[in-house]
Amino acid sequence: AQSVTQLDSQVPVFEEAPVELRCNYSSSVSVYLFWYVQYPNQGLQLLLKYLSGSTLVKGINGFEAEFNKSQTSFHLRKPSVHISDTAEYFCAVTVMFRGSNYKLTFGKGTLLTVNP
Amino acid sequence: DTGVSQDPRHKITKRGQNVTFRCDPISEHNRLYWYRQTLGQGPEFLTYFQNEAQLEKSRLLSDRFSAERPKGSFSTLEIQRTEQGDSAMYLCASSLVYTGLAAYEQYFGPGTRLTVT
């Protein structure tokens, strides 16, 4: 079975500073990787995904993530954050094989708080 | 708007009562998932449907829980004899998966927040 570890439960940063949210995964088979964002009292919105190809993936709102197979990591980064980026961020994996149910396994989340 | 919708958005019920939630997926999507999210945790998989067939249920889904997707469109999740431990956000997601190509992206609804008193 696969698992996801988000190493930081809370990350406070100042506006316009860079940020990195860390994610490590464990799986015995190949995976697809995702980052979702959740604003208060809302559902989850997909930020970006890694399926194959270039290990650096770019998403919405200026976010990007890098897949590192040797370190089993998929860290999320943004070079300059805004107040509006304050939200909970979830890393998720699903396994890739023929007939997969593609259910998502999520980490516990990282609360990003951007302060003025 | 053609996104995933869920109803109700909030439900407060007394312990022992039954509750039912509804999810309307994106119209052309053939897969529908239910997840549960408790405070401070990420969503956890409960069950999923391919069209009208329920193909997998998590061990989290006790006998008090039942889900249906009668015509392969909307889905309902019923909880019988609710317990305080059922208090959570229930999220629905949909995706399009077909032979030879899978759309790995799941689109989530806004969720139904259940409070059992």
pLDDT number for residue B101 = 54
More confident of the two residues A40 and A116: A116
pLDDT number for residue B1 = 54
- From the list B6, B105, B113, the residue facing A49 with the nearest CB is B105
Q: Residue A28 pLDDT more than 60? A: yes
- The answer to whether the Cβ–Cβ distance between A44 and B110 falls below 8 Å is no
Flag whether residue B100 sits within 8 Å of chain A, measured between CB atoms: no
pLDDT number for residue A52 = 81
Structure confidence at residue B78 as a pLDDT band (50, 70, 90): very high
What pLDDT, in 10s, does the model give residues B2-29? 799 999 999 999 999 999 999 999 998 9
The DSSP result for B17-78, as a single string, is --EEEEEE--TT--EEEEEEE-TTS--EEEEEEETTEEEEE-TTS-TTEEEE-TTSS-EEEE
Cα distance between residue B117 and residue B17, in whole Å:
10
DSSP assignment letter at A57 = E
- The answer to whether the Cβ–Cβ distance between A102 and B102 falls below 8 Å is yes
Instruction: Find the mean pLDDT for residues A66-92.
Output: 96
Rounded to a whole number of angstroms, the distance from the CA of B11 to the nearest CA of chain A is: 13
Structure confidence at residue B96 as a pLDDT band (50, 70, 90): confident
- From the list A4, A43, A49, the residue facing B111 with the nearest CB is A43
Residue keyed to tokens 């790995």: B104
- From the list B4, B42, B110, the residue facing A90 with the nearest CB is B42
What pLDDT, in 10s, does the model give residues B40-72? 899 999 999 999 999 889 988 889 999 999 988
Percentage with pLDDT > 90 across chain A: 76
**CB of B77 closer than 8 Å to CB of B86:** no
- From the list B4, B44, B55, the residue facing A101 with the nearest CB is B55
- In sequence order, the 6+-apart residues with CB closer than 8 A to the CB of B83 are B15, B64, B116
Rounded to a whole number of angstroms, the distance from the CA of B111 to the nearest CA of chain A is: 6
Instruction: Find the mean pLDDT for residues A77-94.
Output: 96
Rounded to a whole number of angstroms, the distance from the CA of A102 to the nearest CA of chain B is: 7
Contacts of A42 in chain B (CB under 8 A): 110-111
Q: Residue B103 pLDDT more than 70? A: no
Cα distance between residue B56 and residue B49, in whole Å:
8
